[in-house]
Amino acid sequence: MRSRAALTGTSVTLAAFDQETSQINIFSVPKDSFLIKGAKLAATTQLSRSVLVHVISPNGVNTAVTVTDVATGRQFLPLVVQYPIVKSGAVTETAYYTSAHPALLSAEIISAGNSYVTTMLETAAERLADKGVSISRDIINIAEHLVLVEHTDHRRFLNEDRSKIYPDILSLYALNQGDTFRYSVSSAGAGGMIQMIPRTYEGIRQQHPGIDLATDFVSGMRNHANALEAMLLYINDTWSYLQKQDEVQNALRNGIASKPELLAAGYNSNPMRLPLYLRDGGAGWRTLIPAETQMYLAIYSSVDSNVQFKSQAVQAVAAEDSLTRTSPTVAEQNPVTVLMSWIGDELETRGRAILSSIAR
């Protein structure tokens, strides 16, 4: 029955972990109801346990829920959702994803997500350096900000405590690793972790034939290593253009614009127009950029105020005590993070295996 429902795209199946019994409970709920904020859905697991699912934040595969055992009142840990991707009335793909469910959020998980972002970007920069393209430290840091800005929900940003938004996003990077935002596609066709559109990606490929970026856009965006190389190349190329413009040089000299906000604005909108905005608007140039980009810069500033990326922490430690110690690796900084990441991988693997066996 569960298999038939998933194939028709009318239900989603979840795996939830009972910490007291160490059992994984599997159950299905209607897909339409799963996507309604505040919905409370009753279900029965394969172990005959009655559970109540409360939808906290509906967002497709990235829907956050709480799962409560009706008999005991205990909360289970939601692990994985098996979610049918439907296009033109047909199931085209079955997604497996772990959202930032309230029961999963912890300082260790958030830290692991922070480490993932930093490590992936630094590794991408190292690969580009090996191929002859040098990426500066500040551009890597800007990219760290942007992979959070791109996935910040504007409604949440306007209506909720902003300091609580970014831990959710970092948790997704910890819980899903290379699959994070795999299924995220904007109305403009921007895809994946870096939310780049096909035309821009193809332009980067043509500009840098020696980098060997993936030829297929979809697979290129779903591969974080490939996507982050493309992102760093684009930001680097944008700055190579902007820093040569008189308007940009004057704005930087006079303090009416900064490198991070210019590159953030250029990532969200047409960077070629930024010198014109600076020329025509002067200190008020931000009022001339598109409204969406104004929001983008506000989110960037909020991320900068609320998140200290691991790369920044390592640099601070190195600067403070460079004569007596070397900078630790990301893994060495927090053994608990490594352990929590391993546990998360193990639980997710078990959950996915059970879901896959049910779908057969």
Mean pLDDT for all residues in the chain: 88
Handedness of CA 7, 11, 17, 21 (dihedral sign): negative
Hey, CA dihedral for 165, 169, 170, 171, is it positive or negative?
A: positive
* Percent of residues, the chain, with pLDDT higher than 70: 84
Task: Supply 277's token pair.
Answer: 């905005």
Q: Which residues contact 155 (CB under 8 A, 6 or more apart)?
A: none
pLDDT score, position 187: 77
Question: What is the percent of the chain with per-residue pLDDT over 90, rounded to a whole number?
Answer: 77
For 293-313, give one letter per residue: b (16+ CB within 10 A) or e.
bebbbbbbebbbeebebbbeb
* Residue carrying structure tokens 């490939």: 226
Residue tagged 């819980």 (tokens): 175
What is the structure's pLDDT at 9?
84
Count of C-beta atoms within a 10 Å radius of residue 210: 8
* pLDDT attached to residue 331: 37
Q: Residue type at 171?
A: S
Q: What is the 3-state secondary structure (H, E, C) of the chain?
A: CHHHHHHHCCEEEEEEEECCCCEEEEEEEEHHHHCCCCCEEEEECCCCCEEEEEEEECECECCEEEEEECCCCCEEEEEEEEEEEEECCEEEEEEEECCCCHHHCCHHHHHHHHHHHHHHHHHHHHHHHHCCCCCCHHHHHHHHHHHHHCCCCHHHHHHCCHHHHHHHHHHHHHHHHHHCCCCCECCCCCECCCCECHHHHHHHHHHCHHHCCCCCHHHHHHCHHHHHHHHHHHHHHHHHHHCCCHHHHHHHHHCCCCHHHHHHHHHHCCHHHHHHHHHHHHHHHHHCCCHHHHHHHHHHHHHHHHCCCHHHHHHHHHHHCCCCCCCCCHHHHCHHHHHHHHHHHHHHHHHHHHHHHHHC
Q: Are 315 and 122 within 8 A, CB to CB?
A: no
Angle ∠(218,241,239) on CA atoms, nearest 5: 70
d(CA 58, CA 100) in angstroms, rounded, equals 11
pLDDT digits (tens, 9 = 90+) for 177-206: 999 999 988 878 888 999 999 999 999 999
pTM for the model: 0.84
User: What is the token pair recorded at 37?
Assistant: 């904020």
The per-residue pLDDT for 246 is 98
Better-predicted residue by pLDDT, 234 or 59: 234
Q: How confident is the model at residue 36 (pLDDT cuts 50, 70, 90)?
A: very high
pLDDT band, very low/low/confident/very high, at 337 (cuts 50, 70, 90): very low
What is the spatial distance between Cα 175 and Cα 102, in angstroms, rounded to a whole number?
Answer: 13
What is the model's pLDDT at position 88? 84
Q: In the chain, list all ranges with CATH 1.10.530.
A: 107-320
- The answer to whether residue 294 scores a pLDDT higher than 90 is yes
Nearest to 228, CA basis, from 268, 274, 193, 191: 193
CA-nearest of 262, 153, 133 to 207 is 133
Task: Write the pLDDT tens digit of every residue in 215-267.
Answer: 999 999 999 999 999 999 999 999 999 999 999 999 999 999 999 999 999 99
Question: How many Cα atoms within 13 Å fall on the side-chain side of residue 249?
Answer: 6
pLDDT band at 18 (very low <50, low <70, confident <90, very high): very high
The domain made up of 107-320 has a fold known as Lysozyme (1.10.530)
Residue with tokens 């959950």: 351
Nearest to 344, CA basis, from 102, 32, 105, 145: 105
By the 8 A CB rule, do 169 and 151 touch?
yes
How far the first Cα of the chain sits from its last, in Å, is 11
